[in-house]
Structure 1
Amino acid sequence: MSPRVVTRLAAAIALSIMAGAVAAQDPEAAAESGDHARSSATTLDTVQVTAQFRAQSMQETPIAISAVNAEMMEARGQTSVLDIAASAPNVNIKPAVGNYGSGAAISIRGIGQYDSSFALEPGVGIYIDDVYHPTIFGSVFDLLDLERVEILRGPQGTLAGKNSIGGAVKLYSRPPDEVPGGFVEATYGASSRIDLRAAANWVLAEDSLFMRVSGVSKKRDGYMTRYDYGCLNRDSGVPAQATTPDCVLGTEGGQDFQGVRAALRWLPSEKLEVNLILDAAEDDSEPPATKLLHGPDPRFLTDARFVNYSTYTGTGWRAQPRSTMSSRGASLKFDYSFDDRHTLTSISAWRDYEGGWGVDADGSPLEFYTQAWDVEYRMLSQEFRFNGSALGDRLDYTIGTYLFDGKGVFAGIAQIPNLFALHDDPVQSKSKSAFAHTVYRFNDRFDVSAGVRFTDESKSYGFTRTDPVTGLPQSAIDGQVGHYSGSRWDYRLSGSFHVTDSTMLYASYATGFKGGGINPKPFVPAQVVPFGPEKLDAYEIGFKSDLWDRRLRLNGSLFYNLYDDILITITNGYGGFPASAMPVNAGEAEVKGAELEFTVYPVEGLSIDGSLAWLDFDYTSLSEIALASRMRYGMVAPYTSKYKASVGLQYEFAFDTGALVPRLDTNYQSSFYTNATNTLTGQVKTATVYNARLSWRPWDADWEVAAGVTNLFNKYYYLNKIDVVSASNIATASPARPREWFVNFKYSF
């Protein structure tokens, strides 16, 4: 972290504390400001989590967790998973580049996944109301009417299951309850931004039947303008395509999203609770903003920040500039309590989603790197859990099983060097597991937890490669099917010791894995080969503390990971095919790190929250194919930042009529690479971003108004990159949105 950034962060904290101290010098004067007391917290909230299969305080859970509730998300103006990840230590979630459709590159502690191919498994598990989302595609979730979000760092192999090797992100919606009411919220802002949110809760039968319905609509114009190069440069020899005088073909980065969720909660008896959740979403957005950084024709490089010359044209065809997804899902949860200590839980879930996206990977009028994809996926899952207590309530235990069945099709047309073909690839994935988790309390201060999970998985991936013109097989891999299967035991052992009533120390050993699969991009039958799973052994020590009469929360951890059979996608060609990519088990690494999270209320009305993170990634072994692809010792895994920090400052000014609350959030992240070979054209540089928000909340009213600015200092920086210079002489980046303002109004009833 640069000294300049450290100085800025320290100065911001110091100024805010001084301002709060000045405001609090005369407590009697503050009390005389009106009959209404401050509504801001002066002591820490108790955040409930369910990371160990039962509700408990985050401060009592021996796992590194970043958890935020609905009030925290609202105060920070967080509306998506991307926003929450920005302030979580050693968590890197970036929107996918245009090549990968509607999804995200997700990494925790240097472990993750960025390619949306159904052949590859996520490295961080995503869960919505305890239901696993199995693909990178469709993984950027709107925070619609959520009760809380939990980000679990480190392998959750026994708790969350396979593909949670780096950690897990868990979203929990607000359940229906016995209090009727709801809210309506509207946001208007720059780029014609219009966001609408609403939720309502009904009591259908007193004490037994409740329903909650929520919805969201988000629309915003694109910020990257696509100009027609041939129209702007009539003598260039490039054919003009634009039909308007300004030579504009369209924009990228625009958003058009709608979603709805309906939840029904039924309490037919004191022993049984039934929860049914139905949801649907439609995303008809533009492709991500794409900036050409390196290309075969320098004419199409431009210094203009938010301009490209993408035409989405191939040879004799055109891709539609879009990034769409249509999703439908349902989950049914039964909780039956035999008595106060024994509960059986069943979670049945179904989800079906489909979408498509166009790719102009050369970012120019050239026709040699254009793609259009249409994908669909359907999943069914069933989980059973039995929670119980024994030995005079000293022992809590959970045993359970999990079944998963997923089917998808990855189809489209791809025109890249050495290949022009129609794809129609079916994929099928199955998994079953059994698990157990126990917590034994020796006394009021010392606990030991132990867990185990066995997983058996299989996957098949079929290949169709036909000529777009003739419909005949385009290559020898047409009709080939690859198969993978494997099984794995995972373990967890941890101990926690309460030094005082407010300070806990813990230590843990945990394992996890990311499932194997089949190379999705072969050129010859010999390349239709499986790859093995990644594996991780993780050692961690940490502490959790609520100090200073519960006005200071300080949580920290140190970890050491042994990372084996690391799965890396080689993007600089192999086997004589330069424009190719292949996932391989590249080697082993040691990963070390430190994390610190804090929340403090130094004076009444002032709150400061933040985090610091350090990560050291070191390859200790590289395979022959990794070395042949120009990976070297000293490089790091994709999406691994060495440093990350965040600070949020908020102060509530109390007046006779209400509260004025300014808030400033600062997020710093050091540079990271988006490819395994750590090229300069694949490096996303260090960025520090500031967001500001000012809200007014009357004491005796049911409404609140806020205004804010994102990217306050209008920093031009990249969210993501893709570098295939060695394979296709192309590198592109996704610029972040420029500075934008918004106003927000919320009415509760």
Structure 2
Amino acid sequence: MPATPLVHSSSQRLSLAVAAALSGLLATATPALAQQKGQATVLEEVLVTAQRREQNLQRTSVSVTALGRQLLEDADLPELTSLENLVPNLNFRIGSDGGNSTMQAFIRGVGQFDFAVTTDPGVGMYIDGVFQSRTIGANLEFADIEQVQVLRGPQGTLYGKNTIGGAINIVTRRPGDEFDLDLKLSAGSYQHREVSGYLSLPLIENTLSASVAFIDRESDGWQERRGPDAGGDDMSGGRAHLLWRAGDSFDSHLVVDAVHQRQEAYPQVLAAFNPAQTFPFFFNTFVTPGDPCCTPNTDIDKSNVLNDRDVDDLDSRGASWTNTWHLESLQLQSITGYRKIESDIGRETDNDPADYNYNLNVIDTEQFSQEFLLSGLAMNDRLDWVAGLYYLSEDASQTTNLTVAGGLFEALSSLPLDVTTPTGIPYRFLATALDLSYDYNRVQDTTSYAAYFHAIYSLTEQLRLTLAARYTDEKKELDVYSVKRASQTPILAPGPTDDGACSDVVAEGPGSRYQCEQSWTEVSPKIGLEYDINDDLMAYVSVSQGFRSGAFNGRPTATNQISVADPEIITSYELGLKSQWLARRLILNGSVFFNDYEDQQFLVNRSSASLDGGLALIVDNAGSSSITGAEIELSALPTEGLTLTASLGWIDAEFDTFDSIDPATGLPQDLSGRPFADTPELTWNLMAQYDWFFSGGSSLKLLADVYYKDDVYYSNDEASESFDTLHADGFATWNAGLIYSTSDNRWQFALHGRNLGDEREIVGGFGVDAFGITNVAYTAPRRYYASVRYQL
């Protein structure tokens, strides 16, 4: 049988949410090619099964792209960020912290403006229905993934945690009643070597079964450096399942996983350097006068960094436990989740052995969540409903060690008093003020409670009404200690803060400390209509709200910069169409949407009461915007053996307001003309798959895909020196694969190539004018892989 094509859906009924999104008990979503003797090849119905219910995704009403196991295996996607190649209006950037394992996702222009633990992700990550508070270490590597769902638009009345931009839900494979073995060995470019596998076996017939998935991956880096090359892999991990079924009335599914990673940070390039800026000038004058720093890269695949501190280390472990009771007319579920993450990400940005700029972030998080769901049918099955209670507790700490112009304090402090500035000030008096060896230790505790209700009522056989609402109560407590490491003096001068949610700054040892505490409540409603025009055509319209809770400024450099931003609110209006044509040889789904995005959180200049009208760079609700867009997704069988899938996403995102203070004049300014960051206007992809079946029963499969991403700005600060450098031109990447399977389908031999056009374009970066640096990350070069696989 030909492989499963890409599955698309632009909506989702309540039973789908209960089965897949909430409980993770998705049995399978199996769009496939149904090929019978004497009949034409057609696209099978896309079914989602939960216990004794089945739902066709073509009759659902939430924008979602579902990627099945077969497609994920055939496409050989190397990491989670590869999903943007297959999903419209989804964009990833390389983590601003430099970590290859940090997911910063944007859906329909909504994402995360900072990687710090004080900022919540705009796109939620779920594994088997359990929300991941931090997206560090998110991956697709394990061989037990059954399906990946990418939901676009605000979520909250069907998911445990409120997410303002969308959700990525990874559903793993439940152990079955039959023995299943899958082993894979692969090798490729840059000494890539990998072994992975999956084993499932029944322990007690029809009652108890277990499975385990594992991976071990290593490769050399593709950016040459002094020391280990950057861009390589060194990770291993596993996930184990235990499923107990007590007849038809109860089942219990326990999942535990762990990942161990020790590799270099994602390669970066010093794209521009301004030695006339304050810190480069002092560093080159007093620290390295005979060997000035720093020289921008001339070759993006070579760096002058002595690569012994660029690290992307991770230890992650977690568990989920889903218990389901099947009552006479109801279903009750309990979903318990736990995750512990320890991450060290170090980033050298100066392209020089000198210690000019280095940033190390050590993040430790621990979270616990509990969700209860009750669902059922009422009113002669015309009312399909679910009610949920949700609790989340997260303890997150982040230690940041920042070095800018390392050694400058020591150099200036040792100068005699007669070495002065042109105005006669001894340079040694400036040593403490110019000490930018900052250490921050932040601890944030978050507690979130929620209750939600989602109901679909059949007004007629063809027309259904959706009514839903979510109540959220969220509290955050932040404790910050900071110190200038070289001079052992406070970064923040003791004294009162401008924000009443935060305590006074007090001296503690050589540094200073303060605390912030704030709570927010919000009701997020949803209303929608869906209409079955005929058996092959369905239309829907919906209005929904989402919110992201408030945020603290995680890295103030002055007392007056301590701040708290209010929550963000988004109202999304969507009109969608689901259709299948030509006797199920063509599936075409589309949607148009408008998002009213209010109170967007940014780091901006504001007047400071503590400075008698002076300026402070704080986190505040500076922007409001209008986001208009459209999406089209297609699956087609133009001829026997050939499968085509494609998608198109378009976004027009504009700021209605963006309020700040002009630092030059001190007057208010409207920056609403600035571009939206991390949001390409146009994205599209096309994948073709052709299957040959030989007389002996063996088969050959050829896959090729192309993905295009329009211009992207990785900064929206047009006044910054780095603005133009952090603008990526539109580009396309090509991938292809060849897979041969033996007649019994036990052996499989494959060749894959990624980025075959060797397109090298910017996929992330940052710039700081005072530091004189603009740092960017590029797409990885062309790579090839060969693999052999055995299945039993």
Q: TM-score range by the shorter chain?
A: 0.7 to 0.9
Cross-structure match for 2:187: 188
Contact 2:476 2:518 in 1 (8 A): yes
Cross-structure match for 2:437: 420
> Root-mean-square deviation (CA), in Å?
2.7
Cross-structure match for 2:384: 396
Deviation at 1:483, TM superposition (A): 1.9
Could you tell me which of 206, 231, 234 is aligned with 1:253? Answer: 231
Could you tell me which of 273, 285, 302 is aligned with 1:307? Answer: 302
Change in Cα spacing, 1:41 to 1:734, as seen in structure 2 (3 Å) is farther
Structure 1: how far apart are the matches of 2:64 and 2:775? 34
Deviation at 1:503, TM superposition (A): 1.1
Structure 1 residues 150-159 or 393-402, which shifts more? Answer: 150-159
Deviation at 1:55, TM superposition (A): 6.2
Which residues in structure 2 correspond to 1:91-106 (within 5 Å)? 91-99=90-98, 102-106=101-105
Q: Does 1:488 align with 2:483?
A: no
Q: Does 1:692 align with 2:731?
A: no
Contact 1:183 1:747 in 2 (8 A): yes
Gaps (5+ residues) in structure 1? Answer: 1-35, 227-247, 313-318
Question: Matched residue of 2:300: which SS?
Answer: coil
Structure 1 residues 74-83 or 734-743, which shifts more? Answer: 74-83
Structure 1: how far apart are the matches of 2:233 and 2:96? 15
Cross-structure match for 2:172: 173
Q: Does 1:273 align with 2:272?
A: no
Deviation at 1:572, TM superposition (A): 13
Could you tell me which of 634, 656, 660 is aligned with 1:620? Answer: 656
Question: Matched residue of 2:461: which SS?
Answer: coil
Aligned-pair identity in percent equals 26
Contact 1:92 1:108 in 2 (8 A): yes
Could you tell me which of 571, 583, 586 is aligned with 2:622? Answer: 586
Cross-structure match for 1:26: none
Q: Does 1:501 align with 2:535?
A: yes
Structure 1: how far apart are the matches of 2:132 and 2:90? 18
Deviation at 1:558, TM superposition (A): 0.3
Contact 1:125 1:132 in 2 (8 A): yes
Could you tell me which of 360, 377, 389 is aligned with 2:348? Answer: 360
Structure 2: how far apart are the matches of 1:184 and 1:715? 32
Q: Does 1:450 align with 2:467?
A: yes
Which residues in structure 2 correspond to 1:271-670 (within 5 Å)? 271-297=249-275, 300-311=295-306, 320-339=309-328, 341-416=329-404, 418=434, 419-468=436-485, 473-476=490-493, 477=505, 478-570=512-604, 582-625=618-661, 632-657=671-696, 658-670=698-710
1:122 partner letter:
P
Contact 1:253 1:287 in 2 (8 A): yes
Question: Matched residue of 1:62: which SS?
Answer: coil
Change in Cα spacing, 1:744 to 1:105, as seen in structure 2 (3 Å) is same
Deviation at 1:467, TM superposition (A): 4.0
Contact 1:99 1:361 in 2 (8 A): no
4+ runs of 1 displaced by more than 4 Å?
A: 48-51, 98-101, 469-474, 570-576, 578-582, 625-631
Structure 1: how far apart are the matches of 2:143 and 2:548? 29
Q: Does 1:740 align with 2:783?
A: yes
Q: Deviations over 1:559-584 (max 9, x none)?
A: 011000112245999999x9997433
Structure 1 residues 567-576 or 689-698, which shifts more? Answer: 567-576
2:163 partner letter:
S
Structure 1: how far apart are the matches of 2:617 and 2:223? 28
Could you tell me which of 724, 739, 750 is aligned with 1:706? Answer: 750
Structure 2: how far apart are the matches of 1:208 and 1:579? 66
Contact 2:565 2:620 in 1 (8 A): yes
Question: Matched residue of 2:169: which SS?
Answer: strand
Cross-structure match for 1:120: 119
Deviation at 1:389, TM superposition (A): 0.9
Structure 1 residues 463-472 or 625-634, which shifts more? Answer: 625-634
Cross-structure match for 1:232: none
Structure 2: how far apart are the matches of 1:505 and 1:357? 47
Question: Matched residue of 1:439: which SS?
Answer: strand
Change in Cα spacing, 1:530 to 1:433, as seen in structure 2 (3 Å) is same
Which residues in structure 2 correspond to 1:22-37 (within 5 Å)? none
Contact 1:337 1:344 in 2 (8 A): yes
Structure 2: how far apart are the matches of 1:346 and 1:555? 34
2:300 partner letter:
R
Change in Cα spacing, 1:503 to 1:630, as seen in structure 2 (3 Å) is same
Change in Cα spacing, 1:438 to 1:64, as seen in structure 2 (3 Å) is same
Structure 1: how far apart are the matches of 2:650 and 2:633? 12
Question: Matched residue of 1:73: which SS?
Answer: helix
Q: Deviations over 1:690-737 (max 9, x none)?
A: 00101111222411111011111112222212122x342211111111
Change in Cα spacing, 1:572 to 1:524, as seen in structure 2 (3 Å) is closer
Change in Cα spacing, 1:573 to 1:423, as seen in structure 2 (3 Å) is farther
Q: Does 1:69 align with 2:30?
A: no
Change in Cα spacing, 1:605 to 1:612, as seen in structure 2 (3 Å) is same
Deviation at 1:442, TM superposition (A): 2.3
Change in Cα spacing, 1:683 to 1:50, as seen in structure 2 (3 Å) is farther
Deviation at 1:108, TM superposition (A): 0.2
Deviation at 1:146, TM superposition (A): 0.5
Cross-structure match for 2:717: 677
Structure 2: how far apart are the matches of 1:569 and 1:524? 14
Change in Cα spacing, 1:454 to 1:215, as seen in structure 2 (3 Å) is same
Q: Scaled by the length of structure 1, what TM-score is found?
A: 0.86
Structure 2: how far apart are the matches of 1:532 and 1:694? 51
Question: Matched residue of 1:260: which SS?
Answer: strand
Contact 1:434 1:454 in 2 (8 A): yes
Contact 1:683 1:721 in 2 (8 A): no
Contact 1:354 1:377 in 2 (8 A): yes
Structure 1: how far apart are the matches of 2:466 and 2:662? 38
Contact 1:106 1:124 in 2 (8 A): yes
2:516 partner letter:
G
2:268 partner letter:
T
Deviation at 1:299, TM superposition (A): 5.6
Structure 1: how far apart are the matches of 2:574 and 2:581? 23
Structure 2: how far apart are the matches of 1:434 and 1:689? 43
Gaps (5+ residues) in structure 2? Answer: 1-34, 276-292, 406-433, 494-504, 506-511
Deviation at 1:684, TM superposition (A): 2.0
2:544 partner letter:
A
Change in Cα spacing, 1:730 to 1:602, as seen in structure 2 (3 Å) is same
Structure 1: how far apart are the matches of 2:331 and 2:161? 25
Structure 1: how far apart are the matches of 2:540 and 2:298? 52
Which residues in structure 2 correspond to 1:194-209 (within 5 Å)? 194-209=193-208
Change in Cα spacing, 1:572 to 1:353, as seen in structure 2 (3 Å) is farther
Contact 1:116 1:135 in 2 (8 A): no
Change in Cα spacing, 1:663 to 1:572, as seen in structure 2 (3 Å) is farther
Contact 1:96 1:114 in 2 (8 A): no
Aligned length: 682
Deviation at 1:353, TM superposition (A): 0.8
Question: Matched residue of 2:774: which SS?
Answer: strand
Structure 1: how far apart are the matches of 2:706 and 2:668? 38
